[in-house]
Amino acid sequence: MRKKLVISTGAGMSAESGLSTFRDAGGLWANYPVMDVASADGFARNPALVHRFYNERRHELVKASPNAGHRALTELEQWYDTFIITQNVDDLHERAGSHNVLHLHGELMKVRSMRDENRVYTLDKDNLDTSTETRDIHGDPVRPHIVFFQEAVPNIEPAIKLAQEADIFVVIGTSLVVYPAAALLNYVRPGVPIYYIDPNPAPVPSYVHVLKMPATQGVHELVNILNPDNQ
């Protein structure tokens, strides 16, 4: 029976792909008023601004590529049933070849109908921009398929289940300040090894194995640690 490896990633996972994190110096929230561009109230107040903010991030995303950390995570799939829970809205894990990716905060390359949230559309490379004028095939306005602050996190239940079932749990590149994602650590069964890869890690319990380094180096080390031939 293969062990279940559950990996929780944040913006630091994509930092070495050139995508800004949120709370590092010069990060997204240093340059944009978070409650104007990433909250339900902000979207209600000025939807055009929010559309523009996500359009800009899509144009950056299509120019970015998965980094060595994203790719190294796919190597773990040869030995473990590997599941990625990500707070990231980019598609770099998928583009690197990871198969089981659960997005907690939505997906940047997707938009959805404002009349029926089950109508979700994937934008393609040469059609990245949306606005308040954009209409779907039913003639309805669309919005970014992003979980704004003040909105529920629909995928938190399956994420908690994964954390509870993990035989190994890994956290990569997150400041652990946004809930409920930050709480996943608490659902891991006692005794299950936990690794945390981050060059500037948030405070975590002493039983967490901290690898104080960037994701590209940390995941490489993690693959060596978790390689069954080395155990």
Tell me the catalytic residues.
Answer: 105
- Closest-approach residue to ligand APR (CB): 12
Q: How far is the CB of 126 from ligand APR (least distance, A)?
A: 27
Nearest to 216 by CA among 186, 175, 173, 164: 173
Which tokens in the block code for residue 125?
């490379």
Among residues 215, 219, 222, 226, the one that binds ligand APR under rule CB under 6 A: 215
* DSSP output for the chain: -PPEEEEEE-THHHHTTT---SSSTT-HHHHS-HHHHSBHHHHHH-HHHHHHHHHHHHHHHHH----HHHHHHHHGGGTSEEEEEES--S-HHHHHT-S-EEESSEEEEEEEESS-TT-EEE--TT-----TT-B-TTS-BEEEEE--BTS--TTHHHHHHHHHH-SEEEEES--S-STTGGGGGGGSPTT--EEEE-SSPPP--TTSEEE-S-HHHHHHHHHHHH-GGG-
| Smallest separation (angstroms) from ligand APR to the CB of 231 | 25
Among 76, 214, 222, 226, binds ligand APR (CB under 6 A): 214
From residue 57 to residue 96, the character string flagging contacts with ligand APR as x (rule: CB under 6 A) and all else as - is: ------------------------------x---------
Could you say whether residue 42 binds ligand APR (CB under 6 A)? no
For ligand APR, which residue of 82, 173, 188, 222 counts as binding (CB under 6 A)?
A: 173
22 near ligand APR (CB under 6 A): yes
Residues 112-151 vs ligand APR: string with x where CB under 6 A? ----------------------------------------
Among residues 42, 174, 194, 195, the one that binds ligand APR under rule CB under 6 A: 174
Tokens linked to 59: 């144009």
Find the part of the chain contacting ligand APR (CB under 6 A) among 77-85, 153-161, 198-206, 221-229.
Answer: 198-206
From 55-63, 161-169, 175-183, 203-211, give the range in contact with ligand APR by CB under 6 A: 175-183
Interface positions with ligand APR (CB under 6 A):
10-12, 15-16, 21-24, 27, 87, 105, 173-175, 177-178, 198-200, 202, 214-215
